């Protein structure tokens, strides 16, 4: 086991703690399976994050298994499991991450009076005792222990400092100061850190971390303020996904640190050329579409509509661009294959994209590639990413769309026939009509699977440009207070719709779906994290 120590030799190195797979996955409608979580974790390792918070192992057997698989297979970053300040949570976290070369247990307890009184229903003395016991128990398992006083920015700073000092006394190596509900401002956060150092001088001997939510749109600004105040770990998520309005965006804080190093002198270990690919992967697997004007990775991030801007960029890019698109990997669409490309060319292209595909998986990917290549003039890197991710979903789902056909015309109601492979292996066929072909397909799938779910969201996007572009469909379904998403990719938007619906249904029926926040009972209120 590799122990974690504070790096005092490089005081300006900021550690990137990625919580996409924990806080990010708690976003409504996101329901990643184990294979998808491992795929994201491996990409995060290529991106160069320092810590991957792989999940909250106590919450479900599925989450436990996913964290365990990541700990076993992903090399490089520290693999972290979240745990409430309870023995059972900490035991589960350790059992999930113990196979990692660099394991970390992250335990938390609230220090704000509003949480202590109304959520936890105990006392400040209980909080201090709970923090002491939790860190001590976690420390008995591994050297690297992180402690978070949840809702710290709405808590009494002197009391929070006292609890943090207890955590340090028991051996915590990282202390995180979360703005759990996105309430603070940069100026307040800076003052808060100053008070913490004043009331708990021992905090200067450990690494301080920031975890900021975006409820007021200040997650990146507050995280940056915390770094300027002395923190050297920033907790963030790809595309800023997370509870409610989300977390500090990894790509934004990473590029802020890189582009403005002249102003603050800090650095990270992020390979920024992997940012765009990571963003696309997370968007594709979660179904959370990146808004066009999203900083760094949005479709318009490096687009110029104004004539004045266009003129300036044509003469000298730095007139209106503070970053180069190549810095974040937005030029990574250069791989081009055609219908005559062979298996070896495909394997080589996939390896360039970071995918190691061999044996039967390569054969299946090659078959799908040939199907796509027959319909498209060229297959690009973005197409390959989408194809491989789509095939990985097929191997992981318990339900699978085997066949479909649609009959439609101006003089008749559209009719769809589908064949769905069930968990037993049986293929069940059914037919249905609808106001349109998509509704007919969804109705037929419901009949085949004997389900009656509510369609909450339906999104269509193009993977690349052009008339022959791959279409990517995202479907969000709801049933009995649970919500789950599914995605499908094809040159045929109807086929992509059917794939997406079956996958969302599979996630829903497999119990991978998350409980919606409005339906969560008080006994589950703490299962959110900092």
CATH no. for residue 24?
3.20.20.70
- Is the predicted pLDDT of residue 220 greater than 60, yes or no? yes
Closest by Cα among 403, 396, 344, 414 to 503: 396
- Pairing relationship of beta strands 174-179 and 207-212 according to DSSP bridges: parallel
Query: Among 394, 421, 442, where does a domain finish?
Result: 394
Do residues 377 and 417 share a domain?
no
Specify whether 385 is located in the same domain as 415.
no
User: What is the mean predicted confidence (pLDDT) over 469-477?
Assistant: 88
pLDDT at residue 2, rounded to an integer: 38
Asked if residue 466 belongs to a domain, the reply is yes
8 within a domain of the structure (yes/no): no
C-beta separation of 47 from 278 below 8 A: yes
Across 110-114, 207-211, 306-310, 516-520, least confident range:
516-520
Are 198 and 160 part of one and the same domain?
Answer: yes
Q: What pLDDT score does 279 carry?
A: 95
Q: Judge whether residue 4 has pLDDT over 50.
A: no
Q: Which residue has the higher pLDDT, 290 or 229?
A: 229
Q: What is the mean pLDDT of residues 94-113?
A: 98
Q: What are phi and psi of 198, to 5 degrees?
A: -70, -45
- Which pLDDT does position 393 carry in this prediction? 63
Token pair, residue 169, equals: 């006394």
Q: How confident is the model at residue 6 (pLDDT cuts 50, 70, 90)?
A: very low
Tell me if 236 is assigned to some domain: yes
Answer whether residue 271 is part of any domain: yes
Q: Let me know whether 463 and 382 are in one domain.
A: no
Statement to judge: residues 426 and 491 lie in one domain: yes
For residue 107, what pLDDT is reported? Answer: 98
Question: Is 118 found in the same domain as 264?
Answer: yes
Say whether pLDDT at 359 is over 90. no
Nearest-angstrom CA–CA distance, 109 and 84: 6
List Cβ neighbours of 438 (8 Å cut-off, separation of 6 or more): 458, 494, 497
Would you say residue 375 has pLDDT above 60?
A: yes
The answer to whether residue 410 scores a pLDDT higher than 90 is no
Closest alpha carbon to 495 in 421, 422, 400 = 400
Residue 257 has pLDDT above 90, yes or no: yes
CATH of the domain at 456: 3.30.160.270
pLDDT at residue 127, as a whole number: 97
Q: For residues 153 and 19, what is the distance between their CA atoms, to the nearest angstrom?
A: 20
Lowest mean pLDDT among 208-217, 237-246, 420-429: 420-429
Helices assigned H by DSSP within 299-411:
307-315, 343-352, 359-373, 381-396
DSSP 217: S
Q: Which tops the pLDDT comparison, 507 or 253?
A: 253
The mean-pLDDT minimum among 71-80, 188-197, 299-308 falls in 299-308
Is 1 inside a domain boundary?
Answer: no
In angstroms, the CA 233 to CA 176 distance is 8
When computed from its CA atoms, the radius of gyration of the chain, rounded to whole angstroms, is 24
530 within a domain of the structure (yes/no)? no
pLDDT of residue 276 exceeding 70, the answer is yes
Residue in this structure with the two tokens 């004045």, named with its chain if needed? 308
Of 286, 320, 350, the one marking the end of a domain is 286
468-to-18, 334, 366, 379, 380 alpha-carbon distances in Å: 36, 17, 19, 10, 12
Q: Is the pLDDT of residue 1 over 50?
A: no
Highest average pLDDT, of 1-10, 313-322, 341-350, 443-452, comes from 443-452
Predicted local confidence at residue 321, as pLDDT: 63
pTM above 0.75, yes or no: yes
pLDDT reading at 194 higher than 80:
yes
Residue 515's pLDDT band (cuts 50, 70, 90): very low
Tell me how many domains the chain contains: 3
Return d(Cα 282, Cα 240) in angstroms, integer: 11
Domain that holds residue 383: 336-394
Higher-confidence residue of 260 and 284: namely: 260
Residue 432 lies in a domain: yes
185 and 266 share a domain?
yes
Residue 50 is predicted with a pLDDT of 98
Give the separation between CA 168 and CA 273, rounded to whole angstroms. 37
Query: In this predicted structure, what is the pLDDT of residue 522?
Result: 36
193-202, 363-372, 395-404: range with highest mean pLDDT:
193-202
More confident site: 504 or 520: 504
What is the predicted pLDDT for the residue at 357?
Answer: 79
User: 299 with 352: CB under 8 angstroms?
Assistant: no
Is the CA virtual torsion 340, 344, 350, 356 positive or negative? positive
| Residue 272 structure tokens | 């920024």
What is the spatial distance between Cα 30 and Cα 485, in angstroms, rounded to a whole number? 6
Q: Say whether pLDDT at 5 is over 50.
A: no
Q: Kindly give the interhelix angle for 359-373 and 343-352, rounded to the nearest 10 degrees.
A: 100
Maximum alpha-carbon separation in the chain: 79
Q: Give yes or no: residues 408 and 368 share one domain.
A: no
Q: Are residues 103 and 236 in the same domain?
A: yes
The answer to whether residue 198 is domain-embedded is yes
Which 3 state secondary structure label does DSSP give 225?
helix
Q: Is the pLDDT of residue 214 over 70?
A: yes
Using CA atoms, how far apart are residues 82 and 179, in angstroms rounded to an integer? 17
Question: Measured between alpha carbons, how far is 108 from 188 in angstroms, rounded to an integer?
Answer: 22
Domain check: are 360 and 403 in the same one? no
Tokens 């028991």, located at residue: 170
* Average pLDDT, rounded, for the chain: 87
Length of the chain: 530
- The fraction of the chain above a pLDDT of 90, given in percent, is 57
Q: How much of the chain exceeds pLDDT 70, in percent?
A: 88
- Which of these three, 286, 304, 322, is where a domain ends? 286
What is the DSSP-derived secondary structure letter of residue 142? -
Based on the domain organization, do 364 and 495 belong to the same domain?
no
Cβ contacts of residue 369 below 8 Å, gap of 6+? 337, 341, 346, 379, 384, 387
Alpha helices in 436-492 (DSSP H): 437-449
Q: Provide the pLDDT for residue 302.
A: 67
Per-residue confidence at 275, pLDDT binned at 50, 70, 90?
A: very high
Partner residues linked to 150 by β-bridges = 110
Confidence (pLDDT) at 155 = 97
Q: Please tell me whether residues 60 and 155 are part of one structural domain.
A: yes
Both tokens of residue 447?
């009949």
- What is the rounded average pLDDT of the residues 488-512? 86
pLDDT band of 287, cuts 50, 70, 90: confident
> Is pLDDT above 70 for 351?
yes
Which is nearest to 66 in space by CA: 23, 96, 34, 43?
A: 34
pLDDT of 322 higher than 70: no
């Amino acid at each position: 086991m590799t122990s974690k120590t504070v790096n005092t030799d490089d005081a300006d190195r900021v550690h990137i703690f990625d919580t996409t797979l924990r806080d990010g996955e708690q976003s409504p409608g996101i329901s990643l399976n184990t294979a998808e979580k491992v795929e994201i974790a491996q990409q995060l390792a290529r991106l160069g994050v320092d810590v991957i918070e792989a999940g909250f192992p106590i919450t479900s057997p599925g989450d436990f298994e996913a964290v365990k698989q990541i700990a076993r297979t992903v090399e490089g970053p520290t693999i972290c499991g979240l745990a409430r300040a309870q023995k059972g949570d900490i035991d589960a976290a350790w059992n999930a991450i113990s196979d990692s070369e660099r394991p970390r247990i992250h335990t938390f307890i609230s220090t704000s009076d509003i949480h202590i009184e109304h959520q936890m229903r105990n006392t400040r003395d209980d909080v201090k005792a709970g923090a002491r016991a939790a860190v001590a128990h976690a420390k008995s398992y591994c050297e690297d222990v992180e402690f978070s006083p949840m809702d710290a920015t709405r808590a009494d700073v002197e009391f929070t400092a006292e609890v943090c000092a207890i955590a340090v006394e028991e051996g915590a190596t990282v202390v995180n100061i979360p703005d759990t509900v996105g309430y603070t401002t940069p100026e307040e956060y800076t003052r808060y850190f100053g008070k913490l150092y004043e009331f708990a001088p021992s905090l200067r001997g450990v690494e301080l971390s920031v975890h900021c939510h975006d409820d007021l749109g200040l997650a990146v600004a507050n995280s940056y303020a915390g770094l300027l105040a002395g923190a050297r770990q920033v907790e963030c998520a790809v595309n800023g996904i997370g509870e409610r309005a989300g977390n500090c965006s990894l790509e934004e804080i990473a590029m802020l640190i890189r582009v403005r190093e002249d102003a603050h002198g800090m650095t990270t270990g992020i390979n920024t050329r992997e940012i765009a690919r990571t963003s696309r992967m997370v968007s594709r697997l979660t179904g959370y579409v990146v808004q066009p004007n999203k900083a760094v990775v949005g479709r318009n991030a490096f687009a110029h509509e104004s004539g004045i801007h266009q003129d300036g960029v044509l003469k000298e890019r730095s007139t209106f661009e503070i970053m180069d698109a190549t810095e974040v990997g937005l030029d990574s669409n250069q791989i081009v294959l055609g219908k005559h490309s062979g298996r070896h060319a495909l394997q080589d292209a996939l390896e360039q994209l970071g995918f190691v595909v061999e044996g039967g998986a390569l054969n299946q990917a090659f078959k799908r590639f040939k199907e796509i290549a027959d319909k498209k003039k060229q297959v690009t890197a973005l197409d390959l990413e989408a194809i491989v991710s789509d095939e990985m979903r097929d191997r992981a789902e318990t339900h699978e769309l085997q066949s479909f056909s649609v009959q439609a015309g101006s003089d008749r109601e559209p009719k769809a026939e589908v064949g769905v492979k069930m968990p037993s292996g049986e293929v069940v066929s059914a037919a249905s009509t609808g106001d349109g072909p998509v509704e007919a397909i969804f109705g037929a799938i419901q009949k085949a699977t004997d389900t009656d779910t509510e369609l909450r969201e339906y999104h269509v996007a193009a993977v690349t440009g052009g008339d022959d572009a791959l279409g990517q469909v995202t479907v969000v379904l709801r049933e009995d207070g649970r919500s789950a998403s599914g995605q499908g990719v094809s040159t045929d938007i109807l086929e992509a719709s059917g794939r997406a619906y079956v996958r969302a249904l599979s996630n829903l029926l497999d119990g991978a779906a998350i409980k919606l926040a409005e339906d969560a009972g008080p006994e589950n209120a703490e299962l959110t994290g900092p």
